[in-house]
Amino acid sequence: MTRGKGRWSKPDPDHGVEEATLLILEWLGEQGVGAMIRVDSERMREGRPAWTFAAGGGPLSEGLRADGASVAECMGRALLKLREAGLAVPF
């Protein structure tokens, strides 16, 4: 991880990964990884997983994508894939 900028708060047991999503995206950017999360209203209306996380570049040898029915599900899957790709996201 790059030098700390003092923005990592102590985890709150009443909140999940969705509370840290923007911090995770910012941390990935600091590592040279382009990343985004989006919601697709059409997939939501159709009852399909509407949230998508996508990342690529920097230390990732290839891009990755994770989908979920909620922000928490999407980011949980994204964190697993990032860790499998060798990025130890500090969350």
pLDDT at 5: 53
Q: Taking the model in full, what pTM does it have?
A: 0.80
pLDDT at 42: 97
55: Cβ contacts below 8 Å, ≥ 6 apart? 28, 33, 34, 35, 36, 63, 64, 78, 82
pLDDT at 91: 79
pLDDT at 6: 52
Report the alpha-carbon distance of residue 13 to residue 71 in Å, rounded: 17
Note down pLDDT in tens along the chain; length 91 residues.
Answer: 444 455 444 444 445 777 889 999 999 999 999 999 999 999 999 999 999 999 999 999 999 999 999 999 999 999 999 999 999 998 7
Report the alpha-carbon distance of residue 11 to residue 24 in Å, rounded: 13
